[in-house]
Each structure stands twice: as C-alpha cells, then as structure tokens.
A and B are shown apart, each in its own frame.
Chain A
Amino acid sequence: MMRWKRKDLLTLEELSKEEIEFILETAKSFKEVSTRDVKKVPTLRGKTIVNLFFEPSTRTRTSFELAAKRLSADVLDFSIGGSSVSKGESPVDTARNIEAMKVDCFIVRHSVAGVPKLIAKEVKTAVINAGDDSHEHPTQGLLDLFTIREKKGKIKGLKIAIIGDIRHSRVARSNIWGLTKLGASVILCGPPTLIPLGMEKMGAEVTFSLKEAIKKSDILYFLRVQRERQKETFFPSIQEYVHLYGMDLESLKEGKKDLLIMHPGPINRGIEIKSEVAESTSSLILEQVTNGIAVRMAVLYLLVGKRSKND
C-alpha cells in the first residue's frame, strides 16, 4: 500500500500516477462525511490552516475553508486587503511571520507562477498551491479527475477536450498533467491566439474547430473566458467567440450520446456555454463543486494529518 510522503502539494506535474490515484481513493471516503447530519470529523482538531491568498478568490477559498472545518481544523484567513503586502513585505516573509505563530498548513494563491513553491522551500509548514497565475491549480485538477472517474468509472482511454482560453488557464495545465498521467487523451480547442505554441509537448492534440472537438470527445471541459486577465485582445469580439466556441444544446446533439460537460466555474452564461447546457443532464458543473470539498479534505488529511512533532 502506498504511503504519502510529500510535505506540499504544488503541481500535478510533479506527482506520479500512483500518488494521484492515492489522493482520489482517499477522497472517495471523505465524500461521505459531507452527506452526514453532523458534517464534521475530529481528525484535524487543534491544527491551524491558513488561507494565504495574495489574489482574490471566493470559491476556492470557501471550498478549502469548508474542507478544513469539516475536519475540525481552525482556519485563519489572510487576505490581501489591508495587509502588510501593501506595506512592501515579500510573500516569503509574510509566510515566515505567520509560521512563527505555529500553524500547520498554508493554502497559497498568488498572481505570479512559482510563488507557492518558493514559500514551500522556505517554511517547514505544509503548502498547498491554490493557483499560481497560469501555471497550476492542482486541487482543481484533482477534483476534475475525481468527478470524471466517478461518472465514467475510469479515466484511461477517455478523450477529453479542454475548450477556450488555454493560454491563461492554470486549470487547463493541471488537467492536462493529471489526465495524461492517468491515461486519457486530451484535445485542446480554442482560437489560435489562446492556445500557446508547444502545448503538444504536454501530450495534447490541438484543434481550432469546436465541431471536431465535440465529435471526438467523451467530455467537453469549458474554460471561463477570463476577460479580466486579457489586457490585450485575443479575439475580435465576444460575439465572435460565442459564435465559434460557445456551446449550445444543438451542438451537444452532435456529440456522443453520453457526452458530459464540465466547467471549473464561475460560468459566463451565454459566452462559453449557454444556460441550457449548464443546466442540462449532461452537465457535471455542480458535482465538481461538491467533489471539491472531498478532494480538499483528502489533501488536507494527507498533508496535515500525519505531521508529528519529530518530523
């Protein structure tokens, strides 16, 4: 039986297939806890988990907070507003200062790729990457893998199309690593300006045609059009994007009978997918959110649960 050895969870790129599967297996057991009347187990009682978010986030932070609370941990929220960040303190110094107050885990989000890793190297406390620019968002990748495995019974051999703004997406990168490691094949689909050159090297196929992606796939994974991240324009207009890459019920019929729809949220209704698709029986969007809690509980358990004093 595999044993968990890592201090941190930073990327899916660095995890082995066995490690990913071990987390998914562990998460299965945690899913049941959230279905109880008393949605709480005493596992991490007395542990302190710090949300260290240098970039605003509501759902990821909330999901981690709920996961920690359901394990009886205390949660400290360190958000960017009014903090010492605006006084010029570096992220590593901030983490070291909070670590000096004896905490057990940092959940780090930062707008610069690699900051969670930098912090992880400098502190003894466990670090979970909750998103670093367009690099990785490993727990999102894991919860997507969990959802696919739960629905399809397997991941190996499936074809998953990731559609939209690949360029700015940490979710896409974590998913490409996770899916290919577990034996799925990945199609990247979107306007040429939003698919960086060289993505094939990660083991993915590239197409600019949504039609082609729909025909070939078992799952369509739509990314949010991140309007706030696009300082330059990568496509002429939203209307044109919707026309070429927006998903409606008609297009859904062109795919396989059991084609499933996923999205990391928050959805732009009517842009990447129409409401009728998001709310159709093919949509796994809310199940992804539910599974996010189970997966994050599993990760917290593995990283924080074991750490004894003489580690």
Chain B
Amino acid sequence: MAKEVMKKAEMERIIATLSKEVLKEMGRKNLAIVGIRKRGAILAKRVAERIEGITKNEIPLGTLDITLYRDDLSAIGPQPVVHRTEIPFDLTGKNVLLVDDVLYTGRTIRAALDELIDFGRPEVIKLLVLIDRDNRELPIQPDFIGKRLMARKNEMVEVKLKESDAKEEVVIIKKK
C-alpha cells in the first residue's frame, strides 16, 4: 500500500523555496544545473526555470545518465537500458548544482560525481535533492534538501512527476 508523504502543492512550494536558496547561496554567475535521469533531470529543469524567472538569464542545463558509472552492474542481473548523457556546455569553472529526486544510499551521487568530473573541472558541485531519506552507505550529504524522510529498508520512496508519471506526489510503498 502506498502512503502519500508529499502533495503537489507542497512540492511546488518546496521547489520555489529551494530555487531561491540556490540563487542566494551559489549566485547567478557561472551557475549551471545538471539533473540525474530521469526524475532528477525533470526537477533540474524546474529549478532552472524558477531561477531564470528571477534572473532573466539562461542557465546552462545538462542531463546525466549514470548507468555506465554504476558500481552494481553485475549485481543487478540484466543490464539497465543506457540513455544519453547531455552536457552541452563546458563544465570547467562552473558552479554546478547537481539535482536528484531521492538521496538514499549515496551510490547514484557517487557515480554522478565521477561522471561529472570526466566532463571537466567544475569550481564547485553542490547537491540538491527533493527527498533526503536515511540509511546512507557512502559519506555523501546534500546541500539543499526539500524534505527529510525516514523509511524502512523494505520500503521505497517514489517521487512522481507529471512529465514521467502523469501525477505529482511523493509516496512510500512497501517492496514486494
């Protein structure tokens, strides 16, 4: 059974607040935003649009597919489908905001950092996540957090966005 932990209105409010915080802390100069496929990329676009709405300047926006950098390729059986990474700008010297939907073990972010650094040498990388859940397996912490959640190991936190799931909510569901 799914337990709803965030509704559409709250999600919208959180994204607006986080966007302002990012702008305040990272500044508009050299700011670039990179989202992790697939829901991180959707959130990244929303944050970029919010900030562009304030500054009226276009922000370089990229998308990472971390499949080729995973550390569990042989553990998860048949390989996941590889999608394209798109970083259409030079990362060197940029203040990069990395965006994902849920931060859990930290392994996805580890892979994303490795991949980002292969593209160039950013000045700073900061991490924004909509949901920060407990049970980290690596020493990785977010800089901007939408909401903190506690969930059991046999539960999954799922962020649903209209672009990918036709609705807007965050739910906790029990794994089968």
Contacts and interface: CB of A to CB of B under 8 A. Distances in A.
- Do A and B bind? yes
B74 A308 contact: yes
B134 interface: no
A301 B82 contact: yes
Interface stretch (B49-57, B99-107, B114-122, B136-144): B114-122
Contacts of A3: 78
A1 B75 contact: no
Nearest to B69: A42
Contacts of B68: 33, 41-43, 71, 301
A306 B74 contact: yes
Interface string B40-75: 000000000000000000000000010111000111
B65 A29 contact: yes
Contact of A4 (B75, B79, B114, B119): B79
Residue of B65, B67, B77, B78 with most partner-chain A CB within 10 A: B78
B75 to A, nearest CB: 7
Contacts of A32: 84-86
A306 B77 contact: yes
Contacts of A28: 84
Contacts of A26: 81-82
Contacts of A309: 74
Interface in A189-207: none
Which secondary structure dominates where chain B touches chain A?
Answer: loop
B79 A306 contact: yes
Nearest to B87: A36
Nearest to A2: B81
Given A32-B85, A301-B82, A41 B69 contact: yes
B8 interface: no
Contacts, number: 56
Interface string A17-28: 000000001101
A97 B85 CA distance: 39
A305 interface: yes
A27 to B, nearest CB: 9
Residue of B67, B74, B75, B86 with most partner-chain A CB within 10 A: B74
A110 interface: no
A307 B118 contact: no
A38 B67 CA distance: 17
A302 B67 CA distance: 12
A38 to B, nearest CB: 4
A232 interface: no
A29 B119 contact: no
Contacts of A245: none
B147 interface: no
Contact of B120 (A37, A42, A308): A37
B86 to A, nearest CB: 7
B81 to A, nearest CB: 6
Contacts of B75: 308
Residue of A41, A71, A298, A302 with most partner-chain B CB within 10 A: A41
Given A32-B84, A32-B85, A43-B68, A305 B73 contact: yes
A30 interface: yes
A37 B69 CA distance: 17
B71 to A, nearest CB: 9
Contact of A5 (B78, B81, B86): B78
Interface in A241-298: 298
A306 B82 contact: no
Nearest to B118: A38
Contacts of B65: 29
B114 to A, nearest CB: 7
Residue of B67, B68, B77, B118 with most partner-chain A CB within 10 A: B68
Contacts of A71: 68
B152 interface: no
B84 A306 contact: no
Interface in A206-225: none
Nearest to B84: A29
B83 interface: yes
A40 interface: yes
A4 B78 CA distance: 7
Contacts of A5: 78
A302 B79 contact: yes
Contact of B83 (A29, A302, A305): A29
Interface of B: 65, 67-69, 73-75, 77-79, 81-86, 114-115, 118-120
6 contacts: A26-B81, A37-B119, A38-B119, A307-B74, A308-B77, A309-B74
